[in-house]
Amino acid sequence: MTSITATPNQPWSYLGHDVFSVSSSPEESAFGLFNKRKRPALLLVHGFGASTDHWRYNIPVLSESYEVHAIDLLGFGRSAKPPELEYGGELWKEQVVAYVKERIRRPTVIVGNSLGGYAALAAGAALEEESAGVVLLNAAGYFSDEKYVSQPKNFSTRLRKIIGSGISRDILFKWFIYPAMQRLIFENLRRPRVIRSTLQQVYIDPTNVDDYLIESIRRPSLDPGAFQVFRKVFQARGLKGKPIDELFNDLQAPLLLLWGDSDPWLRNAKAKQDKFRVFARQASLEFKEVLLKAGHCPHDEIPERVNAEMLSWLKG
């Protein structure tokens, strides 16, 4: 398989923080330029803990026919990891929207895996006519009928909650024990052996769980601020954005649902697939669904099949 050959883009920032991205286009022949102008661009958005490197087997194939971009979400990959940001669906949605408007500047098909799938859907809905389509690969997210509990932001409300639950126990746990536990978990999760073991569970066929993939996940975890991002994402207990069914109602573009049908990470994966299907129909979306023999990251596990399905759909 041909691996990633994309070129890093010129520096770009969002909210004053550096964002890493790559791009690749058809050969600059007259035919290539014609197709580049005629066809939509593609923007690839990775999942939790991943980066632009996770599209290593997709970019070379897709960019033979389309202008392809891939972006590192803030907090991941080679992008900045500022501790003060509120990490979640809203931040990443707005980052993707800004990238399309400021860097691509034309109708774009947004492709996302896992939490990147949620960001892709939310951005595709927000972009309205600038969205040429959305492709979801085992997307994360929740629906309106699922319980979602957010933490109170107001300090006085938080203080009352602490007092009501027992101040000494709560402070001891939240300020000392819980952070220490999180640090231990984080240090363990970024060990190469643990990364490999985790990926071998996530990929049904572990052939592509190689040193390159492991290093692409381990390396960003060494950056300053990586631990704070980890803490904030897990403390958020959700993507803090609109539920998927509401986003479906806002979406004006065609939708492709690609499912690794043996996903061990998505809770109640079959039921989740059913809900995506039901709400897509209720929103009267033009959509296609394909079930694949793969795990949570089908684009890297079986890239030939995913590339073929995407190209077929794009031509339609």
The amino acid present at 137, given as its one-letter code, is L
CA distance 288 to 275: 14
Show me where the domains of the chain are located.
7-148+190-315
| Phi, psi at 7, each rounded to 5° | -100, 130
Which CATH number is 7-148+190-315's, of 3.90.1300.10, 3.40.50.880, 3.40.50.1820, 3.40.47.10? Answer: 3.40.50.1820
CA distance 23 to 67: 7
Question: Strand, helix or coil at 6?
Answer: coil
Q: Give pLDDT, residue 233.
A: 83
Q: Give pLDDT, residue 1.
A: 63
pLDDT by residue for the chain (316 residues), tens digit each? Answer: 656 668 999 999 999 999 999 999 997 544 455 555 689 999 999 999 999 999 999 999 999 999 999 999 999 999 999 999 999 999 999 999 999 999 999 999 999 999 999 999 999 999 999 999 999 999 999 999 885 444 444 444 543 343 333 434 444 445 445 667 778 888 888 999 999 999 999 999 999 999 999 999 999 999 999 999 988 887 766 677 899 999 999 999 999 999 999 998 877 788 899 999 999 999 999 999 999 999 999 999 999 999 999 999 999 8
Entry pTM? 0.88
How do residues 91-120 score in pLDDT, each as one tens digit? Answer: 999 999 999 999 999 999 999 999 999 999
**Residues with Cβ within 8 Å of residue 124, at least 6 apart in sequence:** 110, 131, 133, 134, 251, 253
Q: Give pLDDT, residue 266.
A: 76
Q: Give pLDDT, residue 256.
A: 98
Cα dist. 308→61, 65, 107, 219, 273 in Å? 9, 12, 21, 30, 21
How do residues 149-198 score in pLDDT, each as one tens digit? Answer: 444 444 445 433 433 334 344 444 454 456 677 788 888 889 999 999 99
